[in-house]
Chain A
Amino acid sequence: MSTLQEKNKEVVRRYWFELWNEKKGEVLDEIALDPVTFHFPGGQAHQPPTLHKWFETALIAFPDVHFQLHEELAEGDKVVSRWSYVATNTGEFLGRPATQLKVTDQGIDIFRLEDGKIVEMWVAQDSLGLLQQLGVLPE
């Protein structure tokens, strides 16, 4: 494994652990271009325009969100993370009041990096399952 891939993995680990788990919004500008180019599935429940906005919304809707990184691999300029999270919906989400429900989701994200920063992301997670857990859609 060459150093570039190891360095890119380090940046993506900061994304999961420092940004999302430690809630350090200030690392965003160190680890990602603004804006990052997002590729969401058509059915992504929440499609924020920027990472800053995404982080802000998540802190309102799911302030205790905690991610686990189950797998990471890097090839070329890409890093892949297979992850899961648990979170409690204690604030407004998608225009709906807090449900106080504990939810979980899992997914596989692909990151493309340039000069040590995340520039592009392809996101895949279970939005259907999330909306069912929140009671927005029937099981």
Chain B
Amino acid sequence: MSFTPEQNNAICVEFFEAAWNTGEVREDLLASDALDHSQVGGKQKTEPGSGSFKHIVGMFRGAMPDVKLTIEDEIYTADKVVHRWRLNGTDTGGVMGMPPSGKAITMSGTTTVRMQDGKIAERWANVDELGLLQQLGVVPPPPGA
């Protein structure tokens, strides 16, 4: 079965909205050996399966249970989908083992996905983790350019 780039994008939107907004990692939209290359939270290794996706979503939703995903740009062609996105939430659960700050957090990122047979087969992502730590007051704001 062949999927159009538009269908591939719609599947990614469904997957990431469900994951971030409700915490449900939709295994039916994820290849069983899906590779997550993202290095979020200091993760170094790429391991197949849904575990890495569940871990990252769980980590952020644990810190910000009210987190909401906004997809700000969608670019897709052939088997690839790129989303530029933003997460907004309140730090009521505590980030990276720190006590909850109660602060409203906004965090941007960009994700590239390779789709295969209508499922997410590979994911690369960059997340503004430094910006998160700056908003929490853990590290100083960026120096002047």
When chains A and B are docked, how far (Å) is the Cα of A51 from the Cα of B124? 26
Contacts of A129 in B (CB 8 A): 39
Is A73 touching B80 in the complex (CB atoms < 8 A)?
A: yes
Contact A43 B126 (CB under 8 A): no
A47-B142, A73-B78, A75-B76 given; A128·B129 CB < 8 A? yes
Out of B5, B80, B142, name the residue touching A71 (CB < 8 Å).
B80
Which residues of B34-79 have CB atoms within 8 Å of chain A's CB atoms?
39, 42, 73, 75-78
The residue from A49, A122, A128, A137 contacting B73, defined by CB atoms under 8 A apart = A122
Q: Check A95–B143 contact: CB distance below 8 A.
A: yes
Counting chain B CB atoms within 10 Å of each CB, the highest count among A1, A47, A127 belongs to A127
Cα distance, A26 to B73, chains bound together (Å): 31
Say which size band chain B's interface belongs to: 20 to 34
Contact A41 B84 (CB under 8 A): no
B126-A125 in contact (CB<8A): yes
Contacts of B142 in A (CB 8 A): 42-47
Say yes or no for B131: interface residue by CB 8 A criterion. yes
As a 0/1 sequence over residues 70 to 108 of chain A, the CB contacts with chain B under 8 angstroms (1 = contact) are 010111101010100000000000110000000000111
B10 to chain A, nearest CB (A): 15
Q: When the two chains form their complex, are residues B135 and A42 in contact, meaning their CB atoms are under 8 A apart?
A: yes
CB contacts (< 8 Å) of A122 on chain B: these are: 73, 84, 110
Verify if A25 is at the interface (C-beta below 8 Å from B). no
Is A29 positioned at the interface, with any CB of B under 8 Å from its CB?
no
Name the contact of A131 in the complex, choosing from B42, B112, B130, B131 (C-beta under 8 A): B130
Does the CB pair A43–B145 fall under 8 Å? Answer: no
Please tell me if the beta carbons of B77 and A42 are within 8 angstroms of each other in the complex.
no
Is B134 engaged at the interface, CB distance under 8 Å to the other chain?
yes
Contact B131 A41 (CB under 8 A): yes
Identify the closest chain A residue to B76 (Cβ). Answer: A75
A119 touches B (CB below 8 Å): no
Contact B132 A124 (CB under 8 A): no
The answer to whether B133 has its CB under 8 Å from any CB of chain A is yes
Please name all residues of chain A whose beta carbon is closer than 8 Å to the beta carbon of B5 when the two chains form the complex: 75
Q: Is the CB of A43 within 8 A of B110?
A: no
Instruction: Let me know if B129 and A43 touch, CB within 8 A.
Output: yes
Residues in A whose Cβ lies below 8 Å from that of B112: 71, 80, 82, 108
Residues on A with C-beta less than 8 A from B124 are: 82, 108
Contact A126:B145 (CB < 8 A) given known A73-B78, A75-B75, A110-B73: no
Given contacts A41-B130, A110-B110, A127-B128, 13 further A-B contacts (CB under 8 A): A41-B109, A43-B129, A43-B131, A44-B142, A71-B112, A74-B77, A75-B75, A75-B77, A108-B82, A108-B124, A108-B126, A110-B75, A124-B108
Query: Which A-B residue pairs are the 4 nearest by beta carbons?
Result: A43-B131, A43-B130, A41-B128, A42-B131
